[in-house]
Amino acid sequence: MTRPLRAPALLLLLALLASACGSIVELELPELDAVPRDPPEQSIVYDADGNQLAVLRREFRERIDIEELPQHLIDAVVAAEDQRFWIHGGVDARAIVRAAAANLAAGGVEQGGSTISQQLVKMLYMPNDPRTPSTKVREALLARQIEDERSKEDILGEYLNTVYFGNGAYGIEAAAETYFRKAATDLDLAESALLTAIIRAPESLNPTREPDGARLRRDLVLDAMVELGSIDAEAAEAAKAASVDVAPRPPSPPTSEPHWVDFVIRTLLDDPTFGDDEAERAQRVFGGGLRIHTTLRPQLQALARDAVATHLPDASDPEVGLVHVDPGTGHILAAVGGRDYDRQQFDLATQARRQPGSAFKTFVLAAAVTSGYGPGHLIDGGPATFDTVNGPWKVRNYLGSRPGLVTLEEATWASVNGAFARLILELGTGRVAALARAMGVQSPINEDAPIALGGVDPGVSPLDMAAAYATLANGGERVPATPIDRIEDADGAVVHRPDDRGRRVLDPSAAFVTTKILQGVVENGTGVRARIPGWEVAGKTGTTQSYADAWFVGYTPTLAASVWVGRPEGRVPMHDIRGVRNVTGGSFPARIWRSYATAALVDEQPVDFSLPEEYYEIVELDPETGLRAAPWCAGEPTAVPRAIVPRETCPSPTAVPTRTATPVLVCPETPSPDEEPVALCEERTRTPAPAQTTEPSPDGTAEPDPQPGDPPEEQPTDDERPPPPPPSPSPTGGEVRPTPGGGGATE
């Protein structure tokens, strides 16, 4: 049985075929001038209601003859894109072999083997053709033909007048004007190397947004020019010393939602199904005549902006990033990327990466529940210094509190650092990071212990957090978040639809138990300001050191949204903002979330979180400890979510007494097969955690003593503090008392 050819090997075979047999097969091709050029057609972006948001088109400037261009620009593009341009015949088998080896070693596409002539053929004659073996053969043969019919100088000149340089600029003259406000004839060596460096990835290496990446790639081009003998080392070093000083980004296509349109463009340019590289994808996006139908719902977008403006209306206020994801479809329904696009083009909803503070503890919690830790699992919450692979890790709690043993749910409600530090060391940092990725965090996650307290470097975006929490709202099934509903061609035929199939990343019972614990954060803990009357809300607050970032990420069964508040320019402390002394996740983020979610859900009937009965197990539990019954402790049949079914039996009478805590979310009665799924199970009696030892100051707040990456939440004012929850009967006839601290719990 023969093995199928891998893609790089197939490309090599095609290149060799084109090189060896091109003159024979060329006879079957029309004259190059007779090959129709696909005229560029503008693409249109729509919102979910079919309203036009933007028109995407190519922007050209006056063409320029290659004779007018500086020699160092010509040398730079050859060094960057096709170092054997002057000697090959249109297809460079050696380059394809080199690219194939690099791609095989990397396990993916890292390098391309297309020559400048092949790239020109794709841009002029085949911009919208699918990448199939037959089109690659045709591309190679047309490249051979174009080399036979035109001079190298003509080919290179046509290429430089056509290729995409990002920011809507096609052609070197447009690029020179866009980035340097000058003519291409006046580009110096450093500028020429920079522009040719970004051809391969014109958006991800865009110097207006990614100056460091663009500088690195520019320096590699300069090194290649030295190797080719185009310049000497001294000239290269002088050019490397030049700063990446480009003009401000030109205005986005006219639209009422510029941050959203930019996000949609970035999404498509990053999608490998749209082409082999960014330049090829840009051809389709800006000239393919696409009808791009997005998921943005204008009514919800207006509500999101209103929620932000209600609480932080002024330009001097901290900025807000807000993202709403539909848990069942992954559709991004609303996204606020900033207050003023002209002032802040960087998208705070989808691009900004900031440390999440305690909002990241949710992933530690979910990993713990998946490992069988129930809500009543006891953990030492005290401060300590831990030995880690990166050295000693000193962990403190807010106000230096020493809570001693706390249950998992108490640790979550009050955001006890010591407890979560011990949890991640027990569970493993790699496991927690992997779960966060699986749930939907796309930003890189360092596998270090401090991530338990939000020490993610460089950080996560509001989109990351909304998408990951949406997985919990969807019962542990992740549907990838997307701004795209479908894409049609100019004739209305659907040419692309995102994969909306869900993938199970958490057992439903683990997701349910995690959710019920996070409900307590909103009902009894640091997130009380996010409560919505009539709705079950789960979520987590987060605040970083010096009050530089504040988060609330929350969800109902039908909505998942994240809110970040901070300063885009960096880690600027947020003090004395509109009467709030220290901005925390429980202040403005929770309030904005509540305002938005309340309005977004106004026409929906409240839905409770539920778990189908097949995810419960019936076990004999000791009502005093929540552990399995034994001969010395009577038990009763209890339905327990299978993720937290206890393995241990109750301690024998001769065992040394210890503080005990029972799991919550257990059902004292066996569900009937005909009953609806259990929505809320009864809480069991447990011993409360010791109260914190440090008293708040007279005004109801306290001076911060935050753990790096995770300072506390402010206590709510008296009118915002919820009343204590009513007692619920325990199976033994007692009452369940609320955890000390209630709404005043701090993080």
Q: Where are the domains of the chain?
A: 7-37+58-260
Please tell me the predicted confidence (pLDDT) of residue 333. Answer: 99
- Distance (Å, rounded) from C-alpha 209 to C-alpha 205? 8
SS3 assignment, position 379: strand
DSSP string, 62-103: ----GGGS-HHHHHHHHHHH-TTTTTSSS--HHHHHHHHHHH
Q: Please, which residues have CB within 8 angstroms of residue 2's CB and are 6 or more apart in sequence?
A: none
Nearest to 692 by CA among 747, 654, 735, 731: 747
- What are the backbone angles phi and psi of residue 322, rounded to the nearest 5°? -135, 135
Asked whether the predicted pLDDT for residue 589 surpasses 70, the reply is yes
Please tell me the predicted confidence (pLDDT) of residue 66. Answer: 93
Nearest to 49 by CA among 345, 302, 304: 302
Q: What is the DSSP letter of 618?
A: E
Please tell me the predicted confidence (pLDDT) of residue 137. Answer: 84
Asked whether the predicted pLDDT for residue 278 surpasses 60, the reply is yes
Consecutive H or E run containing 360: none
Asked whether the predicted pLDDT for residue 230 surpasses 80, the reply is yes
Please tell me the predicted confidence (pLDDT) of residue 170. Answer: 85
Asked whether the predicted pLDDT for residue 700 surpasses 80, the reply is no
Asked whether the predicted pLDDT for residue 195 surpasses 60, the reply is yes
Please tell me the predicted confidence (pLDDT) of residue 19. Answer: 47
Terminal Cα distance for the chain, rounded: 63
Stronger pLDDT, 370 or 343, i.e. the higher one: 370
Q: What is the DSSP letter of 721?
A: S
Asked whether the predicted pLDDT for residue 582 surpasses 90, the reply is yes
Contact status, residue 462 vs residue 348, Cβ threshold 8 Å: yes
Amino acid (one-letter) located at 225: M
Q: Which of the four pLDDT bands, split at 50, 70 and 90, describes residue 731?
A: very low
Q: Which of the four pLDDT bands, split at 50, 70 and 90, describes residue 197?
A: very high
CA distances from 314 to 259, 302, 340, 345 (A): 19, 17, 11, 17
- Distance (Å, rounded) from C-alpha 334 to C-alpha 349? 10
Instruction: Summarize the confidence of residues 264-269 as an average pLDDT.
Output: 94
Please tell me the predicted confidence (pLDDT) of residue 249. Answer: 65
- Distance (Å, rounded) from C-alpha 65 to C-alpha 173? 10
* pLDDT per position as a tens digit, 15-28: 454 444 444 344 34
Range of lowest pLDDT (162-166, 341-345, 474-478, 672-676): 672-676
**CATH number, domain 7-37+58-260:** 1.10.3810.10
Asked whether the predicted pLDDT for residue 107 surpasses 80, the reply is no
Please tell me the predicted confidence (pLDDT) of residue 59. Answer: 67
Percent of the chain at pLDDT > 90 equals 58
Asked whether the predicted pLDDT for residue 496 surpasses 60, the reply is yes
Instruction: Summarize the confidence of residues 113-128 as an average pLDDT.
Output: 83
Please tell me the predicted confidence (pLDDT) of residue 742. Answer: 29
* pLDDT per position as a tens digit, 523-541: 999 999 999 999 999 999 9
* pLDDT per position as a tens digit, 315-365: 999 999 999 999 999 999 999 999 988 888 899 999 999 999 999 999 999
Please tell me the predicted confidence (pLDDT) of residue 8. Answer: 46
Please tell me the predicted confidence (pLDDT) of residue 65. Answer: 92
Instruction: Summarize the confidence of residues 395-411 as an average pLDDT.
Output: 83
Per the DSSP assignment, residues forming a β-bridge with 617 are 640
Measured in whole angstroms, the distance separating CA 368 from the mean position of its chain's CA atoms is: 23
Q: Please, which residues have CB within 8 angstroms of residue 58's CB and are 6 or more apart in sequence?
A: 40, 168, 170, 286, 287
Instruction: Summarize the confidence of residues 578-586 as an average pLDDT.
Output: 96
Nearest to 224 by CA among 240, 204, 202: 240
Q: Which of the four pLDDT bands, split at 50, 70 and 90, describes residue 40?
A: low
- Distance (Å, rounded) from C-alpha 574 to C-alpha 572? 6
Instruction: Summarize the confidence of residues 435-440 as an average pLDDT.
Output: 98
Percent of the chain at pLDDT > 70 equals 77
Q: Is 689 left (phi over 0), alpha (psi -120 to 50) or beta?
A: beta
* pLDDT per position as a tens digit, 77-97: 999 999 999 999 888 877 666
Instruction: Summarize the confidence of residues 231-258 as an average pLDDT.
Output: 85
Please tell me the predicted confidence (pLDDT) of residue 192. Answer: 97
DSSP string, 200-224: SSTTTT-TTT-HHHHHHHHHHHHHH
Please tell me the predicted confidence (pLDDT) of residue 286. Answer: 87
Please tell me the predicted confidence (pLDDT) of residue 274. Answer: 83
Contacts of 125-130 with C-beta under 8 Å, sequence gap 24+, read 125/35, 125/36, 125/37, 125/38, 126/38, 127/38, 127/40, 127/280, 127/283, 127/284, 127/287, 127/288, 128/38, 128/283, 128/284, 128/288
DSSP string, 581-597: EE--TTTHHHHHHHHHH
Please tell me the predicted confidence (pLDDT) of residue 528. Answer: 96
The overall average pLDDT reported for the chain is: 82
Asked whether the predicted pLDDT for residue 374 surpasses 70, the reply is yes
Asked whether the predicted pLDDT for residue 175 surpasses 60, the reply is yes
Asked whether the predicted pLDDT for residue 122 surpasses 80, the reply is yes
Contact status, residue 534 vs residue 519, Cβ threshold 8 Å: no
- Distance (Å, rounded) from C-alpha 429 to C-alpha 415? 18
Please tell me the predicted confidence (pLDDT) of residue 719. Answer: 30
Range of lowest pLDDT (96-110, 132-146, 349-363, 598-612): 96-110
Whole-model pTM over 0.85: no
Stronger pLDDT, 417 or 124, i.e. the higher one: 417
Range of lowest pLDDT (201-205, 234-238, 300-304, 583-587): 201-205
Range of lowest pLDDT (174-188, 213-227, 400-414): 400-414
Most confident of 92-96, 134-138, 633-637: 633-637
Please tell me the predicted confidence (pLDDT) of residue 101. Answer: 54
- What are the backbone angles phi and psi of residue 192, rounded to the nearest 5°? -65, -45
> Maximum Cα–Cα distance for the chain, whole Å?
96
Instruction: Summarize the confidence of residues 203-216 as an average pLDDT.
Output: 88
Nearest to 314 by CA among 342, 339, 341, 348: 339
